[in-house]
Structure 1
Amino acid sequence: MPGDARKSEQGGRGARLAERIDALPTQPGVYLMKSARGKVLYVGKAQNLRTRVRSYWSGGDGRVQVPKLVARVADVGVLVTPTVKDALLLENELIKQHKPPFNVRLRDDKQYLALRLDPRETWPRLTMVRRFKRDGAQYFGPYTSSTGMKHALSNLRRIFPLRTCSDGVFRDYARRGRPCIEFEIGRCPGPCCDRVEPELYGELVRGTALFLRGRSAELVNTLRARMEAAAAEERFEEAARLRDRIQAVENTVERQQIVSDRRVDRDVFGMARKGGEALVQVLHVREGRVVGSAEFPFSDVRIEDGEVLSSFLGQYYGLDQERQVPGEVLAAATAGDEEALEALLGERAGRRVDVRVPQRGPGRELVAMATRNAELALTRRLEDRDSLASALEELRDKLGLSATPRRIECYDVSNLQGTLAVASRVRFEDGQPDKSGYRRYRIQDAPAGDDLACMREVIDRRFAKREKDPLPDLLMVDGGRGQLAVVTALARDEGLELDHCGLAKERDDESPSERVKRSGGLKAERIFLPNRVNPVLLPPSSRGLLLLQRVRDEAHRFAIEFQRSLRQKVGLTSILEEIPGIGPGKRRALLRELGSLRKVRNAAPEELAGVSGVSQRDARRIHGFFRALEEANDPEEVAPPEPGAGADAGASREADFHD
């Protein structure tokens, strides 16, 4: 199209847009700025739609990002609402629906973890969930990492030992009349077998909720009153337990940072920004103490700080979130919509909630503290990103890859003594996990004990879906030459030019003279490449090697997690059927002569070999199978949290605060 014609068309489009804006209503509502192709570029809310939208073109909006947005807008649509509070709610929903590039968008809440407690149950328990629901239960979180979640559960089980079993397991032990090992080691009071009174269990439930909300003073006062009453009635054992519980809570509270003399609950929001990168830091203050924090990073941010925080607050406290609402919300800036936010949060909480941008005093100091920590967190995040970029470049150079491996996929195969074969795929984008690219595979055709055949099946299935799911820059397998050869052969058969490698530790059967002795031990990590005889050895401190190890370990964790879930679904009786070489006749003989599956599981190889039709080799296989099962089910040890870590905190991070 000639230049003059193009300008004429653009001018006509601009005139039509101006007429459209002049005709907008003056009521509250939501506006959607769209491109020439109808794509929603930005969603905003306003008390007066016409005035707000007109300000983008009249110079009334001084934000430096506005010209970039306005240059792409070809149309503006609006939705009128009764109040600006309703506009705030609608704005949140439309941002989720359209994912406009000029808005900041909180991650899908399914990516966050929370603890759920339903006091209406007869014997309540804490469960881990990925969604806050309006179902009458109490939710504590979000936890932005599983580490924060494990922190909370670990400490809670020591101080307030609620049951951890599922309802099905609970009923099973109730039928048996004997509690599980958790009761024996003091981590469960045994409600399944009536070893605890409902009133006492209810006190544990209430204590758990107070602890997670950060109500330490109220909790300690309640426990102390119960301790004194128990001592007065000469129930000294119960009084001693309560004394220890009080001490555990007080010891943890002492480690928390006091930031205010006012015993008020606050959420404090600070923000840092460098170019298009931004990070919002939330500090959760309960009874004057910082009980937790969470970080929310955003990339490619094109709107000003007040707009970012206003949009963030609306999504953070959205009605689909059963999040605790404090008495005060302090923010570094807003878009002037504090009243709408107050109305929304007040309706949620059933009481007055103050939303402020403090200009002086203790509130301003708290916001400054949150902002400083946001700046430190953003700096650390950008440094980590630069480090990851150099790691990817190192891998490209050292491994001779055709391109920088911005997308890496890793595959791992796992089986249990030749049974329950599964595989996993994890994906890393720019050195960070991309959970949307994670996959789990149940091995369908390959023999469960043949790792190479299992890997061949999984990679073959992956290549078959390459049209819908593009291949990565680097495909990695957990293994050495054998696993790598499988990928090489399949890629050659499919005519694919694909960078791929295998990562494996040094073999135990190599002689000492063949081992490469380096700092960190004798077992070196070896990177196997196609068409290369000797593996690549990178120094232990290599950023590229550390990244590959992280990817490989994540694939291994994901595979083991899947296998563990399958074992729980299959059940012990069905697992007995999974042992190779143990057919129906031998299974019946084992159960008949030993009496029960539990006795089969605990029997020594000599006892198993004494069963009719069971050979010494069968006995060793059965015994090894159940020992491997026990090892795979060993719980993971985690560190204790700070109380209040569930008070809408990601993970308690007092040690990271700087004031």
Structure 2
Amino acid sequence: MADPTTYRPSPGSIPDAPGVYKFRDATKRVIYVGKAKSLRSRLNSYFADITGLHPRTRQMVTTAASVEWTVVGTEVEALQLEYNWIKEFDPRFNVRYRDDKSYPVLAVTMNEEYPRLHVYRGARKKGVRYFGPYAHAWAIRETLDLLLRVFPARTCSAGVFKRHGQIGRPCLLGYIGKCSAPCVGKVSADEHREIVEDFCDFLAGRTDALIRRLEQEMAAASEELEFERAARLRDDLGALRRAMEKQAVVLGDGTDADVVAFAHDELEAAVQVFHVRGGRVRGQRGWVIDKAEEMDVKDLVDHFITQFYGEQAERADDPDGGSPVPREVLVPELPADAEALGEWLSGLRGSRVSLRVPQRGDKRALAETVTRNAGEAFTQHKLRRAGDLTARSAALAELQDYLALETAPLRIECVDISHIQGSDVVASLVVFEDGIPRKSEYRRFALREAAEEGDVASIAEVVRRRFSRYLKENAEGVDPDRPGIDPETGKPRKFAYAPNLLVVDGAGPQATAAADVLSELGVTDIAVVGLAKRLEEVWLPGDPDPVILPRTSDALYLLQRLRDEAHRFAIRYHREKRSKRMQVSALDGVPGLGQARRTALIKHFGSVKKLREARIEEIEAVPGFGRRTAEAVVAALAGETAAAAGESST
């Protein structure tokens, strides 16, 4: 690890001018490229106290062995040079945009004599027009299926095209009218290219002229009594309109814009882009990036626009036949060099590009939708991270170190309490093994003894019941070769395995209560901690101060997921229990109708609503009910309905 002071340039030697800089490691490899409005100010910030730097920035400056820079005349030149160097050197510490999925596009091979329409994934090629990206390949095939009756262009591969040309017979699509069969000469190369160009015009948004032309041709065919041709044109118009309906109009003024949004934390960020052409959403893309340094939304906008549109400008033709840069780029916040970015984008497009933040109306509403999509994509990325074996292993190892455990906690259990003002108190017990949920081991408890004494007593009751069962099941006829299996039923015992770590939702008092119960039961090989929600502090039993885990650590992330899963499972049980109580409360006070019979009624009919609709004879048919009890139930429900009607009328 290098000391940044060993290669720090003297402050006076760094020019106070715009430019681009490179950090190199000991092997002279470029590891980071950046731009700055003032090189002196920017580079000096890297050589401040390294403990105050962003973790990745700190890693970068301690990996580097030298820094160099190039002065440029304007900020626009700095943007272009930074993009070119990132493209050339692929520095390991620069932000890298990774697609959160491989998006399919509709490709049209205009560089072939007979252009082909097909679904495509991969690098863009010259001479090929691309439409999309689409969220799913089936969406492209569905659109193609609708449009081929209107634009019967070739969709087959080169091998299939050549084979049918040799045998002199078209494929099935040629027979049913969804291909003009250029392979057997039904149309010439020029006629087929005209069909493909009309197809591209339609997908590029130039739909009105085509619709009007088909309507005129249909009217003319009808006047000339060519009713079959008029009917075919009518069906073609219907197919075109259905295809247009699949692309929702979001901006009624025919706007061409890209709408960009971000969701991020200290180390990572997700970006989502909606491509709007002709007022319709033509595609959607998403990336997840590792932050190279401390970056807010303005910095993310700056980096994204430079890399994304720089690469787009180098690729093949845009679906609209021009530049891939739209007339407007709508962003959540404007970066400091917004004016230079706008000028650079205008140069890529060849005409003015507006870079701005939408303030009101439809564009603002669409920006909020894109923001929600970015947040959802970021959440999904975090969940995928939880499934990564390397991250899970790191989390377990960190927990072992932070909590001073003898071994990594391969099995962790978490207890959470749920209630509303002390009523319907329930608890959940969730299990994670090797860092992932083991849902078949989840358990839930309806609390009885400590329900009125608060969360600390409730935690103690759950722990006592859970580990009393554990001791009992391990004391009764355990097969040493199959300790977790019931020898009589052959099924897994519910509480046969003990965790390495027990987590309770709460602070010191909850953790201490759980540890005291384990001590009373003689269970001494299970570590206990409490996780407090407010500051995400980890409390050990009896300790006056909490253990503070780094906010970015995999260990804390795992504990949060465990606690959140326990909370979700407890709330679900609480809602079920409260719902059942509220259902049967309508039958309170019916003579001869206890809790068991009320529950049997609800179970038989499914709900109180259906029970109200039941006749006396139907209730009498329920096992354990006689005529008199059935009449009392009907009378009670009828009285409750009348009372509710009276209340609503007042």
> What is the TM-score with the length of structure 1 in the denominator?
0.50
**Alignment partner of 2:273 out of 282, 302, 312:** 282
Question: RCO (CA 8 Å, sep 6+): is it higher in 1 or 2?
Answer: 1
Partner residue, 2:338: 338
Q: Secondary structure at the match of 1:270?
A: strand
Q: CA deviation at 1:255?
A: 4.5
Task: Give the direction of change, closer, same or farther, for the CA distance of 1:110–1:250 in structure 2 (3 Å limit).
Answer: closer
The answer to whether 1:43 aligns with 2:37 is no
Kept after mapping to 1: 8 A contact 2:19/2:71: yes
Contact 2:262–2:371 under 8 Å retained in 1: yes
CA contact (8 A) 1:102 1:303 kept: no
Matching residue's letter, 1:377: A
2:176 corresponding residue in structure 1: 185
Q: How does 1:461-610 map to 2 (within 5 A)?
A: none
In 2, Cα distance between the equivalents of 1:56 and 1:390? 31
2:509 corresponding residue in structure 1: none
Per the alignment, residue 348 of structure 2 pairs with: 348
Q: Aligned to 1:321, which of 290, 315, 333?
A: 315
Q: Which moved more, 1:264-273 or 1:244-253?
A: 244-253
Q: Distance in 2 between matches of 1:334 and 1:281?
A: 16
Q: Which amino acid aligns with 1:320?
A: E
Q: In 2, distance between residues paired with 1:275 and 1:333?
A: 18
Is 2:81 aligned against 1:90?
yes
Q: Does 1:174 align with 2:165?
A: yes
Query: Are positions 1:371 and 2:371 aligned together?
Result: yes
The within-5 A match list for 1:175-324 is 175-196=166-187, 201-232=192-223, 235-299=226-290, 302-304=293-295, 305-317=297-309, 318=311, 319-322=313-316, 323=318, 324=324
Question: Secondary structure, in 3 states, of the residue corresponding to 2:298?
Answer: helix
1:269, distance to aligned residue in structure 2 (A): 0.5
SS at match of 1:179: coil
Can you list the C-alpha shifts for 1:346-393, whole angstroms capped at 9, x where unaligned? 333332222223455544433222111111222133234435669999
How far apart, CA to CA, are the structure 1 residues paired with 2:135 and 2:31? 28
Which residue identity lines up with residue 329 of structure 1 in the other structure?
V
Q: 1:131 maps to which residue?
A: 123
In structure 1, how many angstroms separate the alpha carbons of the residues matched to 2:193 and 2:376? 42
Shift of 1:66: 8.3
1:192, distance to aligned residue in structure 2 (A): 2.0
SS of equivalent residue, structure 1 residue 43 = strand
AA partner of residue 351 (structure 2): R
8 Å Cα contact 1:279/1:374 also seen in 2:
yes
User: Which moved further from structure 2: 230-239 or 248-257?
Assistant: 230-239
Which residue of 2 is the match for residue 357 of structure 1? 357
Work out whether residues 147 and 240 of structure 2, in 8 Å CA contact, stay in contact via their aligned partners in 1: no
Give the secondary structure class of the aligned counterpart of 1:308: helix
On the 8 A contact 1:42/1:100 being kept in 2, the answer is yes
Change (3 A) 1:257 1:77: same
Deviates more, 1:180-189 or 1:113-122: 113-122
Question: What displacement does 1:158 show?
Answer: 5.1
Q: 1:245 to 1:82 in 2, by over 3 A?
A: farther
Q: Deviations over 1:26-59 (max 9, x none)?
A: 5543212345664544322234434443455589
Identity of aligned residues (%): 37
Q: Quote the Cα distance in structure 1 between the aligned partners of 2:44 and 2:214.
A: 60
Q: Which SS does the other structure have where 1:325 is aligned?
A: coil
Query: Is contact 1:56-1:70 (8 Å) kept?
Result: no
Contact 2:134–2:284, Cα closer than 8 Å, also in 1: no
Q: Residue in 1 aligned with 2:578?
A: none
Q: Which amino acid aligns with 1:68?
A: R
Structure 2 Cα separation of the partners of residues 190 and 340 of structure 1? 51
Residue number in structure 1 paired with 2:611: none
CA deviation after TM superposition for structure 1 residue 16, in Å: 5.4
* Paired residues of 1:265 and 1:286 also in contact (CA < 8 A): yes
Q: For each residue in 1:107-141, what CA deviation from the matched residue of structure 2 results, as whole angstroms up to 9, or x when unmatched? A: 499966544324465432224362224x3442324
CA 1:155–1:102: 2 relative to 1, 3 Å: farther
> CA contact under 8 A between 2:100 and 2:286: conserved in structure 1?
no
1:180 maps to amino acid: C
* 8 Å Cα contact 1:113-1:145 kept in structure 2: yes
Question: Is it true that 1:33 corresponds to 2:23 in the alignment?
Answer: yes
Does the 8 Å CA contact 1:115/1:140 hold for their aligned counterparts?
yes
Q: In structure 1, list runs of 5 or more residues that go unmatched.
A: 1-5, 397-401, 405-429, 432-659
Mapped to 2, the partners of 1:104 and 1:161 lie a distance apart of 44
- List per-residue Cα deviations over 1:89-118 (Å, max 9, x = no partner): 332343344443442213499966544324
Aligned positions, number? 386
Distance 1:227 1:206 in 2: 21
Q: Structure 2 vs 1, CA of residues 160 and 83 (structure 1 numbering), >3 Å: closer, same or farther?
A: farther
TM-score (normalised: structure 2)? 0.50
Return 5+ residue gaps in structure 2 as ranges.
Answer: 319-323, 397-407, 411-434, 437-650
Tell me which residue corresponds to 1:482: none
